[in-house]
Amino acid sequence: MIKKISNKLLYLFEKIKRIIITFINKSTKQSDVDRWSKDKSLFASWDERTQLLANHVQPNSIVFEFGAARLVLKNMLPEGCTYLHSDIVSRNEDTLVVDLNKELPQIPNVDYVIFSGVLEYIFEVEALIKHLSEFTNHFVLSYAVTNHFKEKTDRRFHGWVSDLSEADLFAIAHKFQLKSKIIGTWKKQVLFQFSK
């Protein structure tokens, strides 16, 4: 009984701590580098979402993934694809280390840019899409839209700092002359493709 209460209190403390950290990061426009530098923050359960996005990449494409985490996308891509990646901390010797909340990176021209569980942690999603549209013909991405994840407290608990709806994402794509469509869902997160 005491252990059960203790575990509940510990969970509540961790939840409050995470929400406070996210509110502080949001108000100071800082990324949670500490969180993403820990392997325990990267979950194998996310691989299913990554595979769903990889299914929309054509063979022999050049693919750039932001937020590469455990680098699983590389082995999910179709035949002949070239894989490039970036993250907020180094994942291997080839990682382009960049904080997308601080700088807009220069990347080579690629066929696809992939965001799997990343854009929720970005303050200026529209500016990032605008910038990267100079380097790619297609975006394949997931987003926990406010249509399904409405509560701000829950969003902050997850560490999410942007709050966009399906309509907001379609509007961003339209603003930059990108055709947009929903290509699936994963645990209520919506999967999108934006294309020139």
**CATH code of the domain containing 61:** 3.40.50.150
pTM reported for the whole predicted model: 0.90
The pLDDT of residue 9 is: 67
The pLDDT of residue 25 is: 84
The pLDDT of residue 28 is: 86
C-alpha count within 13 angstroms, C-beta hemisphere, residue 151: 5
Q: Of 148, 144, 142, which Cα lies nearest the Cα of 159?
A: 144
Which structural domain range is residue 126 located in? 2-195
- How far is 35 from 113, CA to CA, in rounded Å? 23
Write out the H or E segment, with its range, that includes residue 111. strand 110-115
The pLDDT of residue 141 is: 98
119 in Cβ contact with 162 (< 8 Å): yes
Rounded average pLDDT over 83-89: 96
Q: How many domains does the chain have?
A: 1
- Average pLDDT over the chain, rounded to an integer: 93
Confidence grade of residue 118 (pLDDT, cut at 50, 70, 90): very high
80 in Cβ contact with 58 (< 8 Å): no
165 to 32, 54, 101, 145: CA distances (angstroms): 23, 23, 20, 5
pLDDT at 83 over 70: yes
Rounded average pLDDT over 72-82: 97
